[in-house]
Structure 1
């Protein structure tokens, strides 16, 4: 079936949808092509650049001005956030172990032993439950809980994204 037959209304298999698609494909805007032959089809919108909602001439559907820069910026920021979150969650058990809060208890001559000693002296010979030393020892022995891992991962992701933003903005000002 030809385009003329469809425009004249002979091809009603797809109805107005097909007529609209054919009218959108026309490149020459003219008064006669903006309306259907029986006058029931509305006019096409004017051709030209898309206008944004504020009429400024920029439309969110338009591609970015510098080709690909936004994609690489956001891809880099996403990668930095993921790496920052994973590093934060994976490094905390190692940090606790380094401080002396081990799975089998507080190691001798470590920062954890000094913290425990000063806490015990300040509290009359014992380490109270709920204190910083007892919480760190609990985390060192059992590992971090799921909510702690989520919070730590979120903080690491935020830090990674902020570092990426700082890095990419400094590169943009250099060149």
Structure 2
């Protein structure tokens, strides 16, 4: 791997971590709750139907809403930044291949 590949990987990882709060807000996980008609509302509806009417504490929807409402901290930081870094790194790797 060349220098450009490492730069692309690092840039993708940083973009994934820094961009996580913005992406969560954009899909509907806001500080005021889940936005009506958003992608997050669809996720919450599907989770509730699958679990007999409620969203299970600790589920993906519950964790993402907690992060959207309170910001990134503690366990939520580890979950979101780990996922964001993995996705960002993958995007950076793909960009390096294309370049």
Between structures 1 and 2, the one with greater helix share: 2
1:115 to partner: Cα distance: 2.3
**1:100 aligns to what?**
28
Aligned length: 95
Assess if the C-alpha contact under 8 Å between 2:20 and 2:81 holds in 1.
Answer: no
* Secondary structure in 1 matching 2:53: coil
**1:125 aligns to what?**
53
1:155 to partner: Cα distance: 4.7
* Secondary structure in 2 matching 1:145: helix
Q: Structure 1: any 5+ residue segments left out of the alignment?
A: 1-72, 169-175
1:20-39 per-residue CA deviation (whole Å, 9 max, x = no partner) reads: xxxxxxxxxxxxxxxxxxxx
Is 1:77–2:9 an aligned residue pair?
no
Is 1:91–2:19 an aligned residue pair?
yes
Output the aligned Cα RMSD.
Answer: 2.6
Which structure is richer in relative contact order (CA contacts within 8 A, separation 6 or more)? Answer: 2
**2:66 aligns to what?**
138
Q: Larger C-alpha radius of gyration, 1 or 2?
A: 1
Q: Do the aligned partners of residues 109 and 148 (structure 1) sit closer, same or farther apart at CA in structure 2, a change above 3 Å counting?
A: closer
